[in-house]
Amino acid sequence: MKLLNASQIHQWDQITIQNQQLTSLELMERAAKKCVDWIVENLDKKSTIYIFCGRGNNGGDGLAIAKLLLSLDFNIQVNILAGEKSSADFEANLKALKSTSLEINELHSANDFPKLEANCYVVDALFGSGINKPLNGLPLELANYLNNFSPKKVIAIDVPSGMFLDHSSYGNTIIQADEILTFQTYKQCFFIAENAQYLGNIHVLDIGLDAEFPYTQESNFEITDANFAKNIYQPRNPFGHKGTFGHALLIAGSQGKYGAALMAAHACLRTGVGLLTCNFPEEIAMPLAITLPEAMSMKRNETIDWDKYKSIGIGPGLGMESFDIIKDVLTHTKSPLLIDADGLNMIAANDELKSLIPQNAILTPHPKEFERLFGKTANEFDRIDLALQKSQELHCVIVLKGHNTLIAADGVGYFNTTGNVGLATGGSGDTLSGIITSLLAQGYISKNAAILGVYLHGLAADLALSKQSVESLLPSDLNQYLGMAFKSLG
Ligand SMILES: NC(=O)C1=CN([C@@H]2O[C@H](COP(=O)(O)OP(=O)(O)OC[C@H]3O[C@@H](n4cnc5c(N)ncnc54)[C@H](OP(=O)(O)O)[C@@H]3O)[C@@H](O)[C@H]2O)[C@H](O)CC1
Ligand SMILES: [K+]
> 346 pLDDT exceeds 90?
yes
In which band, very low, low, confident or very high, does the pLDDT at 237 lie, cut at 50, 70 and 90?
confident
Task: State which ligand 1 atom lies nearest to the alpha carbon of 137.
Answer: 30
Tens of pLDDT, residue by residue over 92-134, are 999 999 999 899 999 999 999 999 998 999 999 999 999 999 9
pLDDT recorded at residue 85: 94
> 241 pLDDT exceeds 90?
no
What number is the average pLDDT over the span 389-409?
A: 96
Which ipTM score applies to this complex?
Answer: 0.97
The CATH homologous superfamily to which domain 226-487 belongs is Ribokinase (3.40.1190.20)
pLDDT recorded at residue 206: 97
What number is the average pLDDT over the span 1-5?
A: 93
SS (HEC) of 426-478: CCHHHHHHHHHHHHHHCCCCHHHHHHHHHHHHHHHHHHHCCCCCCCCCCHHHH
Residue to substitute in 24, 35, 126, 129 for testing ligand 1 pocket (most ligand atoms within 8 angstroms of CB): 129
Across all residues in the chain, what is the average pLDDT? 96
Residue ranges lining ligand 1, Cβ < 6 Å: 9, 12-13, 27-28, 31, 54, 56-61, 87, 127-133, 135, 139, 157-158, 183-184, 207, 209
What number is the average pLDDT over the span 476-486?
A: 96
pLDDT recorded at residue 87: 97
- Percent of the chain at pLDDT > 90 equals 95
Tens of pLDDT, residue by residue over 249-297, are 999 999 999 999 999 999 999 999 999 999 999 999 999 999 999 999 9
What angle (nearest 5°) sits at the alpha carbon of residue 382, between those of residues 10 and 9? Answer: 10
Contact indicator for 121, 50 with CB cutoff of 8 Å = yes
Q: Which CATH architecture has domain 6-217?
A: 3-Layer(aba) Sandwich (3.40)
SS (HEC) of 169-187: CCCCCCCCCCEEEEECCCC
In the chain, what are the domain boundaries? 6-217, 226-487
pLDDT recorded at residue 15: 97
